[in-house]
Structure 1
Amino acid sequence: MTVPTERPPGPMPDPQAARDPRTLLEPRRFDGVVSTIVDNNPGMTADVAERIACEGIKFTVAAATYRDQAMAPSRVVDEGWHALILHTATYAGLCERFGGFVHHTPGYDPTFYDPKILDRSQELIRAAGFESDRELWVGPDDRTFTVAANCQHQKECAIRPMPTPQPPCNKPAIVP
């Protein structure tokens, strides 16, 4: 896979600030995301929750920036993404700053695990100006970090940013 070398047009904060994802949110908003992670994961330390929040922010920025590239978070990073999404105004604003809203289509099946898409997602995070926290980009069976999120995205059904939600796969949509 080739990683884009140019960023699409649009506003970009100071490149120095982009290296620390915490600076992309107001401190109170970042703290709110961290609190959501801690609340959803009894016994988790604030330090671990901050790391997970940072990865969720990095993932969101990369997915919004590189809209034509397939990406998926690890199960642990997905916890940070979930927490960020729950802060809807913060999440929507972050997405819009970097290219557009990134929709989430959850699903879980450990057989969907694709280590290559996790590697590609980290490459795009690096292309967006961040370093990934590799300890958090682990397979679904790695329980080094226990989190409430129970999503694993299919390799052929990677996250696709789009203006309106759509099923990410070529499977028929389930309509209630």
Structure 2
Amino acid sequence: MRGYAPCPETPEEESVTIAITQVEQIGRDPRELIPTWAYELLVKDFRKKHHSSHDYTERVVSQNLVFLKAAGQIRRQSRRDPRAYVRIVPTRPVDEAWHEALQRTEVYLPMSLAFADSVIHHRPVMDDDIRSGAALARTIPYLKATGMYVDPEFWDDEAGSSCCPPECNDQGGRERLGNWGDLVPSGPLTIRF
């Protein structure tokens, strides 16, 4: 059998031990979501700051892309129907990759526009919804709905985690934001790349 290695039978009993030699990845590769050069920049930035292995870095950056894709899909749907809005949250490692991506604006802005037709904002929050694990439980189905591979190492058993300490809580991101007045155009915005 391909992929399985049965153990030799013992005289006392007939038993077979199966070793899994290959795990099938369900879903598309998240690296497909952005150009290769952009992905490589995000990986380089994360490795430089976190001193992590190349494999781990590629996986966490990929999971950040899956999270942002899901957040973008929710934003698009909620613009058509505000009742479609659902708050989803990253885990601590994915949020760390998000922080690094935010600093690479030449990648983050076009990526946000591709995923959400707008900027995907980051609001640092720690609240009971996150601490209880409810927010993460709500997040997982939206990640899977992207059709991308959802790496269980970065999502399973991460409930209640956030990069944000409790003192940064703004009650779930509902704090009223100010108006930019005439500093920002009110009509369609054209951005050249």
| TM-score by shorter chain over 0.5 | yes
Equivalent position to 1:95, from 86, 97, 112: 112
Which structure 2 residues correspond to residues 22-171 of structure 1 after superposition, within 5 A? 22-42=31-51, 44-67=52-75, 68-99=85-116, 100-107=118-125, 112-137=130-155, 138-139=158-159, 150-151=163-164, 157=172, 168-170=173-175
Say if 1:151 and 1:110 are closer, same or farther in 2 by CA, change over 3 A: farther
* Counterpart contact for 1:71–1:117, Cα < 8 Å: yes
For residue 3 of structure 1, what is the aligned residue in structure 2?
none
Preserved contact between residue 75 and residue 152 of structure 1 (Cα < 8 Å): no
Q: Is the 1:95–1:102 Cα contact (8 Å) retained in structure 2? A: yes
**1:75·1:140 contact (CA, 8 Å) conserved in 2?**
no
What is the TM-score when the length of structure 1 is the normalising length? Answer: 0.67
Q: Could you say if the C-alpha distance between residues 111 and 26 of structure 1 is closer, same or farther in structure 2, counting changes exceeding 3 Å?
A: closer
Deviation at 1:23, TM superposition (A): 1.5
Q: Which has the larger radius of gyration?
A: 2
Structure 2 length as normaliser, TM-score? Answer: 0.61
For residues 25 and 112 of structure 1, do their structure 2 counterparts lie closer, same or farther at Cα, with a shift above 3 Å needed? Answer: closer
Q: Is the 8 A contact 1:110 1:152 kept in 2?
A: no
CA distance in 2, matches of 1:151, 1:75: 9
Letter of the 1:26 partner, please give it. Answer: P
Give the Cα–Cα distance (whole angstroms) in 1 for the partners of residues 89 and 132 of structure 2. Answer: 9
Shift of 1:136: 0.9
Q: How far has the Cα of 1:114 moved from its partner?
A: 3.4
Q: How many residues align?
A: 138
Matched, 1:21 2:38: no
Q: What displacement does 1:71 show? A: 0.8
SS in 2 for 1:132: coil
Residues in 2 aligned to 1:45 and 1:71: alpha-carbon distance in whole angstroms:
27
Gaps spanning 5+ residues in structure 1: where? 1-17, 142-148, 158-167
